[in-house]
Amino acid sequence: MKLVIGIVRPEKANDVLEALYRAEIRGVSISRVQGHGGELDRVETYRGTTVKMGLAEKVRFEVAVSDSFVEMTVAALCDGARTGEVGDGKIFVVPLEQAVRIRTGETDVGAVTPVGS
Amino acid sequence: MIAAAHGNLPLPGQIDTGDTAWMLAATALVLLMTPALGLFYAGLVRAKNTLNTFMMCVGALGVVTVMWAVIGYSLAFDRGDGFVGGLHNVLLHGVTLAPHAGLRIPDLLFMAFEATFCIVTSALVSGAVVERMRFGPFLIFVGLWSVLVYAVLAHWVFGGGWLQAHGTLDFAGGVPVEMASGFSAFAAAMVVGARRDYGRQALLPHNAVYVLLGAGLLWFGWFGFNGGSGYSAGSSSVLAFTNTLLAPACALVVWFVLDLLRDRRVTAIGGATAIIVGCVAITPAAGYISPTWAMALGGLAVLPSYAIILWRPRTRLDETLDVLAAHGVAGVTGILFVGFFAQLAWNGRANGLLYGHAGQLAWQAVAVLAGPAYAFAATFVILRVIGLFTPLRVTEREEAIGMDVIQHGEEAYTTGEGAILVGPEGGFEEPGRRFGERFLGPLSKSR
């Protein structure tokens, strides 16, 4: 089991959801995060005060999958999130020690397999 | 003024302080409608486009007011011919403190009052193109539209043009305001094209509270809009003012019923829309029909507008904020309603079909054909011509990022977290550094 974490542009979040859906990857959490990954700073001006927005708005996807699904998940995240410009985001794949489905008490692969699959 | 001080009614041709006081207040009320519209529209778009949407209304406050003073007022209200006014009042030449012809308020105040109509009407059209149209071309468009469409149509029904000469009744602007903005929005949506995500993603209003507050402030302003269109503190203003209370209330109630029938729930965005539809429908009729008929009109007007609002999103036409349904169609309803139910006993001008004058309905119908046709065609041409010189819309990439950051370099809901102070303009800079370097030098470097 792996936890696939994708940090993507907010405006691409819907495209990523669509790509995951097409790849039949159904269990996903998202959260709004702010971060900095080397992209160009955005400049904004408020009444003569100019600021560099050092942290960019991003959306963080977390998908827990069994090993055979890792490749598809990463591919779906890449397909959905890529624009080709600096700031498209990152994907991290980390080992997952345990997963529990709270409702049934199922663990591990059973817990990360969507109901009805 | 002396006559008023002595308690005698001044004759036309003399200034009346009561009329003038009310028209000063009414002008301010109508001006409020433009930022109110900005709030209403801003709530209906996605969060990343809030400021751009609001700024389109603020843009109209600036550009349209200038265009009105420079030439729009003259084209609308100078004598001219049946189609368009003359050029005698260009740059407000000859607009003085003397009474406006036939009224007891100063010419200058009349000009200011009419200016606020032109501003809010021009801002209305923005509802068709929000979330994608570039701000610069929009400002050019709105300035040209206020002169080439609004001023011309205002001349037709208010400024002695051909519709007014033939007896078309339009109390506060069913033709130049409501039908013109609605059918122009239709044309603008066709020329500018649909948003990138239209029909692919759910594009939801980001703040329904703004929408409700905006609608409430619009209704408040509308008391000046309709209540001031009698140009006096007299009986036609009182009738119009009261009808502006009654018609939107009926529209609300009918909308609630339709919402309940359709989905068993009354919606907030629907309620806000109902207020607008009721106000729009009563606009051309406010000073011409009885309060009872005004209530009927408010309720009736909801039906076609509701139907269009349900139908439009199923089409490819991304007329984003439904200006056509709320203003164009409700304006048609109001103008035609006058043809049936105008009542000499209430308005002192003319009867409609129901009270024995069928000819009134005929000229209302002519207005319903001619006004929208002109507005649609002229808007289509104006936007096409602007489009020859500069792109009308941002790129798909920029549209995805959001108009606020792309077009204005600001955000509506910025947290400030992670924001690094570059410096207030003019302060903190090291001596000897050029203006461009100060901003562009350190910022264009990537790490």
User: What is the chain B residue with the closest CA to A11?
Assistant: B400
What residue numbers bound the domain in which B274 lies?
Answer: 21-397
Across the interface, do A50 and B405 touch by the CB < 8 Å criterion? no
- With a cut of 60, say whether residue B173 has pLDDT above it: yes
What residues 170-199 of chain B have any CB closer than 8 A to a CB of chain A?
197
Across the interface, do B420 and A50 touch by the CB < 8 Å criterion? no
Question: Residue B329 forms beta bridges with which residues?
Answer: none
Residue B436, domain member (yes or no) = no
CA distance B124 to B178: 9
| Residue in the block written with tokens 């000009």 | B111
Q: Which positions in chain B touch A41 (Cβ < 8 Å)?
A: 420, 443
Q: Which positions in chain A touch B418 (Cβ < 8 Å)?
A: 34, 36, 53-55
pLDDT for B394: 97
ipTM of the complex: 0.80
CA distance B40 to B325: 16
Across the interface, do A41 and B397 touch by the CB < 8 Å criterion? no
CA distance B123 to B399: 21
pLDDT for B10: 61
pLDDT bin (cut points 50, 70, 90) of residue B440 is: very low
| Cα Rg of chain A, angstroms | 17
Report the pLDDT averaged over residues A34-42: 80
Query: In order of start, what are the domains of chain A with their CATH numbers?
Result: 2-112 (3.30.70.120)
B395 vs A: CB within 8 A: no
Q: In what order do the strands lie in the sheet with B419-424?
A: A42-46, A49-53, B419-424
Report the pLDDT averaged over residues B259-286: 97
Q: What phi, psi does B430 have (nearest 5°)?
A: -75, 140
CA distance B208 to B289: 33
A83 touches A9 (CB < 8 A): yes
Q: Which positions in chain B touch A43 (Cβ < 8 Å)?
A: 409, 422, 439, 443
Number of structural domains (chain B) is 1
Residue B102, domain member (yes or no) = yes
pLDDT bin (cut points 50, 70, 90) of residue B406 is: very high
pLDDT bin (cut points 50, 70, 90) of residue B163 is: very high
pLDDT bin (cut points 50, 70, 90) of residue A44 is: confident
Least Cα distance to B319 among B415, B440, B181 occurs for B181
- With a cut of 50, say whether residue B152 has pLDDT above it: yes
Considering only CB atoms, A11 lies closest to which of B401, B418, B426, namely: B401
Query: How many Cβ atoms sit within 10 Å of the Cβ of residue B153?
Result: 31
pLDDT for B5: 41
B130 touches B321 (CB < 8 A): yes
pLDDT for A78: 96
Residue B94, domain member (yes or no) = yes
CA distance B123 to B139: 10
For residues A72 and A115, which has the higher predicted lDDT (pLDDT)? Answer: A72
Residue B423, domain member (yes or no) = no
pLDDT for A58: 93
B393 touches B399 (CB < 8 A): yes
| Residue in the block written with tokens 């090993």 | A67
Classified as helix, coil or strand, B394 is: coil
CA distance B117 to B19: 19
Classified as helix, coil or strand, B266 is: coil
CA distance B38 to B224: 18
Across the interface, do A44 and B422 touch by the CB < 8 Å criterion? no
User: What is the chain A residue with the closest CA to B48?
Assistant: A11
CA distance B439 to B433: 10
User: What is the chain A residue with the closest CA to B440?
Assistant: A43
- With a cut of 50, say whether residue B4 has pLDDT above it: no
pLDDT bin (cut points 50, 70, 90) of residue B12 is: low
User: What is the chain B residue with the closest CA to A47?
Assistant: B424
Per-residue model confidence as pLDDT tens digits over B22-40: 999 999 999 999 999 999 9
Element (H, E) at A3: strand A2-8
CA distance B321 to B53: 11
pLDDT for B259: 97
Residue B89, domain member (yes or no) = yes
Q: Which positions in chain B touch A49 (Cβ < 8 Å)?
A: 421, 423-425
Least Cα distance to B379 among B195, B159, B153 occurs for B153
CA distances from A97 to A49, A101, A108 (A): 48, 14, 8
- With a cut of 90, say whether residue B435 has pLDDT above it: no
CA distances from A107 to A30, A69, A95, A101, B357 (A): 22, 17, 15, 6, 82
- With a cut of 70, say whether residue B381 has pLDDT above it: yes
Report the pLDDT averaged over residues B76-80: 95
| Category of B411 on φ-ψ map: left (φ > 0), alpha (ψ -120 to 50) or beta | beta
- With a cut of 60, say whether residue B289 has pLDDT above it: yes
B417 vs A: CB within 8 A: yes
Q: Which positions in chain B touch A36 (Cβ < 8 Å)?
A: 418
For residues B441 and B220, which has the higher predicted lDDT (pLDDT)? Answer: B220
Report the pLDDT averaged over residues B286-314: 97
- With a cut of 60, say whether residue A77 has pLDDT above it: yes
Across the interface, do B423 and A50 touch by the CB < 8 Å criterion? yes
Q: Which positions in chain A touch B446 (Cβ < 8 Å)?
A: 38, 40, 86
pLDDT for B1: 37
CA distance B302 to A34: 45
Quote the tokens at residue B337: 């309603």
Mean residue pLDDT across chain A: 90
Least Cα distance to B198 among B319, B324, B106, B325 occurs for B319
Report the pLDDT averaged over residues B47-68: 98
- With a cut of 50, say whether residue B17 has pLDDT above it: yes
Residue B4, domain member (yes or no) = no
What secondary structure, in 3-state letters, does A33-87 show? EEECCCCCCEEEEECCEEEEECCEEEEEEEEEECHHHHHHHHHHHHHHHCCCCCC
pLDDT bin (cut points 50, 70, 90) of residue A50 is: confident
User: What is the chain A residue with the closest CA to B438?
Assistant: A50
User: What is the chain B residue with the closest CA to A14?
Assistant: B201
Mean residue pLDDT across chain B: 92
Could you tell me how many CB contacts below 8 A there are between chain A and chain B? 66
- With a cut of 50, say whether residue B59 has pLDDT above it: yes
Among the listed ranges A33-47, B133-147, B379-393, which one has the minimum average pLDDT value? Answer: A33-47
- With a cut of 90, say whether residue B419 has pLDDT above it: no
Report the pLDDT averaged over residues B34-48: 97
- With a cut of 80, say whether residue B412 has pLDDT above it: yes
pLDDT for B439: 45
What are the E-state strand segments in B27-117? none
Per-residue model confidence as pLDDT tens digits over B183-199: 999 999 999 999 999 98
B190 touches B384 (CB < 8 A): no
pLDDT bin (cut points 50, 70, 90) of residue B11 is: low
Residue B425, domain member (yes or no) = no
Contacts of B253 (CB under 8 A, 6+ apart): B299
Across the interface, do A43 and B439 touch by the CB < 8 Å criterion? yes
pLDDT bin (cut points 50, 70, 90) of residue B442 is: very low
Q: What's the CATH code of the domain at B125?
A: 1.10.3430.10
pLDDT for A17: 93
Quote the tokens at residue B43: 């709530």
Considering only CB atoms, B409 lies closest to which of A38, A41, A44, namely: A44
Report the pLDDT averaged over residues B54-82: 97
Residue B420, domain member (yes or no) = no
| Category of A90 on φ-ψ map: left (φ > 0), alpha (ψ -120 to 50) or beta | beta
Per-residue model confidence as pLDDT tens digits over A85-117: 888 999 999 999 999 999 999 888 888 887 766
Gap from B47 CA to chain A (nearest CA, Å): 12
Q: Which positions in chain A touch B402 (Cβ < 8 Å)?
A: 11
pLDDT bin (cut points 50, 70, 90) of residue A46 is: confident
Gap from B307 CA to chain A (nearest CA, Å): 30
Per-position b or e across B94-104, b if 16+ CB within 10 A of its CB: ebeeebbeebb
- With a cut of 60, say whether residue B443 has pLDDT above it: no
| Cα Rg of chain B, angstroms | 23
Q: Which positions in chain A touch B444 (Cβ < 8 Å)?
A: 40
- With a cut of 80, say whether residue B430 has pLDDT above it: no
